[in-house]
Amino acid sequence: MFDSVFIMFILALMPIIWLIIALCGLKLQAHVASVGACIVAFIEAIFIWKMPVNAAFSAALEGFAMALWPIVLVIIAAVFTYNLTVYTGAMDIIKRMITSISCDKRILVILIGWCFGGFLEGMAGFGVAIAIPASMLYALGFSPIEAILACLIANGCPTMFGSIGIPTATLAGVTGLDSTALAFVQTIQVAFLLFISPFLMVMLVSGGRKGLKGMIPFISVASLSFVIPEILAAKFIGADLPVIIASVCSLGATFTYAASYSKHHEVDETYRMEIVDEQAHEIITLKKALVAWSPFILIFVLLLLTSKLVPFINEPLSAIKSSVTIYQGEGAAPYTFTWINTPGVLILLSGILGGIFQKCKFSDFIKVMKDTIKQMAKTICTMLGVLACAKIMGYAGMISDIAAFFVVVLGSFYPLASPLIGALGTFVTGSGTSSEVLFGNVQLEAARAIGANEYWLVAANSLGTSAGKMLSPQSIAIGCAACALSGKDGEILSRIAKYAFAYVIIMAVIVYCGAGLAHLLV
């Protein structure tokens, strides 16, 4: 019995094993590796799991559809909006506003790495939240290694709600769970790690615990003003806005507290940064500030107005949809395309309106959009390959066989390994969304097999992506490129590993100990 379960487990894992070998051993790019994984899954599904050829093709086609709408749409819209603010110079105004408050490196790493980095993760994701804050900290005089490490820590926990919540929305889509209930469980699981992350960031850039002296109230404000709004947003709004709302609240509360703190406290010379602002003579008026922030303000407002909090807007817009049966095998269900009330459409509209406020011409929009599509082309291919692979594995029964092995081996102790599986997916692919697609149904099947709460174990996959994101070679490479630190990837990896492994251990304890109480949440 065990031998047959083990053999099917290994065979079912072959697409994942290929990804690990291709990315870590052969050093292939993610889009090439993901297409290879899809091919491996397709061949195995037909010849080992005896899946009809037309069913395998249609399963891949359904994966393509899910990848394009809404995932790729959100990616393009979010990065386009960000790129547009860079193109118009609005991002320079935003940076100046954030760095104007203090020259204390401990305050700056929180404002830029934690608050602004969280905002960028919620808005764009896909490395933007590492590249921009890390480059800003480096430009201010931070050690490049410290800047990258701080941003890797900051970027981990918000990953599950990055790019307007696309990892969680995707996870809900592939598992069939309610996205709002899933998002709420995720925020409960990640709350403790969210709270401690800013403390770790300050200790990292200030030489240890001594850097916390006099800063605990400030850091606590930054932490709590992030954690509490994120939980409330997930509970009452859903998966789209938790990190955006949390980062905006944290930025506002932290900025206000820092302004008051700076007035009444001299900066310790040990932590003083010499900030040179060549445009300091230019006054940022309220109008300039609003215009600079306008795309992000519009995104926030539109997503809020079309959320379930405003049912008389949400329900009519959500009704504009089409359903089509793509998969042609057993267990087929219609796939629904929501045409208006989907984050990608709303973000794109916000970006265009914001660009109009920033005096963009039609030719500017076209140029930025072309550059964005070119920039994200490989990511789009990766999403297509990964989603197609996951759909084939799921419909063929490969996911069920993977889950069956873990259940046989671990039994009731499976929750201890649940976050580690999510971390592995993100480490290999560099994407929280990809990890959700690859392993979301493994967690679901395991939960059903051991009688655990489905939402709790599926959410644990997202929890694990936080640690995997820190260790991901792609994340580290983005940070090194942003801080002109070529060839130091190995050093960054070795230094961030202790944080990531500690997070995984904490995650395992949280998931295992909380499994018995999960029914109280959903």
Higher pLDDT, 494 or 268: 494
Residue 100: HSE in the Cβ half-sphere, 13 Å Cα cutoff: 14
**Cβ–Cβ under 8 Å, residues 459 and 189:** yes
Tokens 């459409």, residue located: 345
In a 3-state reduction of DSSP, which class is residue 321? strand
Q: pLDDT at position 398, please?
A: 87
**Cβ–Cβ under 8 Å, residues 150 and 113:** yes
Is 266's pLDDT higher than 80? no
Least confident of 138-152, 201-215, 259-273: 259-273
Displacement of CA 230 from its chain's centroid (Å) = 14
Span 367-404, pLDDT tens digits: 999 998 998 888 788 878 888 988 898 889 887 888 78
Is 59's pLDDT higher than 80? yes
Q: How confident is the model at residue 79 (pLDDT cuts 50, 70, 90)?
A: confident
Q: How confident is the model at residue 200 (pLDDT cuts 50, 70, 90)?
A: very high
The token duo for 131 is 């590249």
Rounded Cα gap, residues 286 and 300, in angstroms: 19
Taking the alpha carbons at both ends of the chain, their separation in whole angstroms is 35
* Mean of pLDDT values over 351-366: 96
Is the entire prediction scored with pTM above 0.75?
Answer: yes
Instruction: State the average pLDDT for the chain.
Output: 87
Residue 315: HSE in the Cβ half-sphere, 13 Å Cα cutoff: 4
Rounded Cα gap, residues 431 and 385, in angstroms: 13
**Cβ–Cβ under 8 Å, residues 111 and 86:** no
The token duo for 426 is 């993100």
Name the nearest CA neighbour of 13 among 463, 389, 464: 389
Is 277's pLDDT higher than 60? no
**Cβ–Cβ under 8 Å, residues 38 and 383:** no
Is 269's pLDDT higher than 90? no
Q: What is the largest CA-CA distance in the chain?
A: 76
Identity of the amino acid at 58: S
Displacement of CA 110 from its chain's centroid (Å) = 19
